[in-house]
Structures are given as C-alpha cells and as structure tokens.
Amino acid sequence: MVETTYQSDRIGRPGMQLELNPGGGFAIGLEIGVDFISVIAADFTAKTFWRHWESSDPDDGFLAIIQRAFDLTEMAFDAGREHGMNPLGIGIGLPGLVDCEKGILMFAPNLGWKEIPIKEPWEERFKLPVFVENEANAIALGEYYFGSANEAQTFLAINAGVGLGAGIMINGDIFRGSRGYAAEIGHVKLVPDGEPCNCGKRGCYETIIGPRAVVKRVKEELAQGAKSSILSEAGNDPEKINFEAVSDAAAAGDAVCLAALKEVGYNLGIVTANMVNVFNPELVILCGALSYAAEMLLPEVQKSVKENALELSQIGLEIIVSEFGPEAVVVGAVALVLDSIWREPAFA
C-alpha cells in the first residue's frame, strides 16, 4: 500500500515564543517502523507540505529497507526544492535502543536488527545534519514543541505499536538514562514464565499490550467457539484478522472484539500507573497504533490508572491521546531537527 499527498496543514504549534520565517528552510522527518516507512517534510514553522507512507516487509532485510528509506528521503528533498526552500536536516525515529550520539540502532527486537549505523550513511549521502532517536523519545519531543504537551514540563509519551516504549520528559529535557536506553517499558518482565518476547526474554509487558495482543485475544476466543462478526468479515480466515478490523468491529458493537480491546486497555493502564508512581508526571500522552481505537481504549486506561496508581500521584494528572495519530513519530523526528537549531545560541 502506498499513499502520497501534497498539502499544507499544520502539524502543531511552536513550543517557543519566536518569530519564525516559514521560508527559513525545511526539515525531513522519517520513521522506519517494523513493517512500514513514513516520511514527512515540514517547513520552519512546522507545517507539513509533503507526506508519504508505505508498508515494508521485515523479511526483505535491513539493506533493502534502508535503501527504500533513502529513496523516500530523496523524494522529500525534491518536494522541498519544489517549494523553493533549503534543507535543514533529517530526523529519524527508530523502533529500538539507539545510541543517539553515534547514530547507531543498537538493537531493534521486533526487527531483529543489531548495531545498524544510521546517522553516518545518511549524512554521507545527503550532506546534512542527521539526528537519530528512539521513536518514543522522538514522540515526546514532538509533543513538547508542537503537540498537547506544549504547556507541560514533566510528562510521559507512551507509544504502543508492535512494540511498547515510553518517552519521558523531565523539566523540559528527555530522560535517556546513563547510556540512552531508558524507558524500555515494553521489556519490563510481568510473568516470569510468560510468552516469549522478541527481545529474547519471556513474559514482557510487550507480549500483552499492543495491537498484536488484541488480535491474539480475539483469535483465541474464536478458537474456543466464541461468536463474532469479525470472522465472516475476514472471509472465515482468522489469519486475515488485523487490529483495524477488530477496532472497527468493536466500534460496531461486537462483544468479542470490544472485550479484547478493553483487556489490553486495562493492561496498558497498569503500565501507565506504574510509570505515574515512579515519575509523577502532570500529563500522559498515549501514542502509536492503539490510538486508532482511542475512544474505546482511553476510558479503560484511565480507569486502570485510577485503580492502580497512588492517589497523591494522580493529583492534577491528565491522560490523553496524541493528536498526531500515526504521524506522532515523524512529527517528533522533525522536532529533532528544529530543536537542534532552536538551541543554538546564535538563534536566540
């Protein structure tokens, strides 16, 4: 599937009170997901004028996927040149543990990639600054500058897609830990002898939270004889059931699909409650693929947090869904580029 559009819609609002020139240049935001690639080009005031999304196959290997990402970056550059603007840099959000300084994807559990250099080959090819970051951290920065966290200083951005991660902003700075690998909440062990996780361990939160967990729960119910409209919609082939179809069926009142969503939403709330107890944020933003079913999931997350987090930690706490939907990472990738410019003393 390939979707490409050209338009000028705002992806957020500036996080700093500055007079910005839209023609000052453009940034490219790129997300290499587990099974897709997403790219946007945005001007200096964070208006998107080009976007592209397409599916990818992890079985093709990292060389083929990286080459395709190169090609899409070239397309974004062409779009920027057509608008008469100069490129400022490239931001890349990745689904795994990232050495931001060296620009290396150290480990992507759901892709099976280890120690893949990203920054160097992109800089060599495009002769521009390249900023590489874990996708959840990128989301946090994007929300901070352009999104719902514009007024917040300490907040969490929880990204639930194929994997599960968190971006943590503390007093206006991303918390990365000692080596940059903090907040891999998807790999906190929940069940000692639980299901295998792609990280190599067992019983991680990631195995029970996210779109895959929703689909798995529905398939298990169907295998036990549960009646659901989702099966006929999938041509009586359970392997054709996907998260979007489950969400649509749940919204239409299918009991099996709705129960699966509610269970995963409640489990996500438990993870969120644990994070709230540790970091005491003023805001939690839910991002990623689960936002597709936000109307059904958000009440379950809020209910679970209320039941499981400390009462004092919940004072003033707000839990919301990202306004950027599936583009939260690429918006954050653009923020990586603009943040590097805004923090330059000469710019102030």
Whether the predicted pLDDT of 100 surpasses 70: yes
Spatial CB neighbours of 208, under 8 Å, sequence gap ≥ 6: 190, 194, 195, 264, 267
Cβ atoms within 10 Å of 75's Cβ, excluding its own: 15
Q: Model confidence over 116-156: pLDDT tens digits?
A: 999 999 999 999 999 999 999 999 999 999 999 988 999 99
Write down the residue that tokens 């209320």 correspond to. Answer: 306
Which H, E and C letters describe 140-204, residue by residue?
Answer: HHHHHHHCCCCCCCCEEEEEECCCEEEEEEECCEECCCCCCCCCCHHHCECCCCCCECCCCCECE
Q: Model confidence over 225-253: pLDDT tens digits?
A: 999 999 888 888 888 999 999 999 999 99
The SS3 of residue 42 is strand
Write down the residue that tokens 């550059």 correspond to. Answer: 77
Q: Please report the pLDDT score of residue 194 as a whole number.
A: 87
- Nearest Cα residue to 98 out of 30, 201, 179: 179
**Confidence bin at 21 (pLDDT 50/70/90):** low
Domain ranges of the chain: 2-144+327-347, 151-322
Q: Model confidence over 306-322: pLDDT tens digits?
A: 999 999 999 999 999 99
Q: Please report the pLDDT score of residue 23 as a whole number.
A: 57
The beta-strand segments (E) located in the chain are 2-5, 9-10, 26-32, 36-43, 47-55, 87-94, 97-99, 104-108, 113-117, 130-134, 155-160, 164-170, 173-174, 283-287, 318-321
Q: Please report the pLDDT score of residue 301 as a whole number.
A: 95
Whether the predicted pLDDT of 330 surpasses 50: yes
* Beta bridge mates, 97: 107
Spatial CB neighbours of 237, under 8 Å, sequence gap ≥ 6: none
* Beta bridge mates, 189: 204
Q: Model confidence over 42-64: pLDDT tens digits?
A: 998 778 999 999 999 999 999 99
Exposed (0-12), middle (13-18) or buried (19+): which is 92, by Cβ within 10 Å?
A: buried
Write down the residue that tokens 């991660």 correspond to. Answer: 165
Q: Please report the pLDDT score of residue 20 as a whole number.
A: 52
Architecture of domain 151-322: 2-Layer Sandwich (3.30)
Specify the CATH superfamily of domain 2-144+327-347: ATPase, nucleotide binding domain (3.30.420.40)
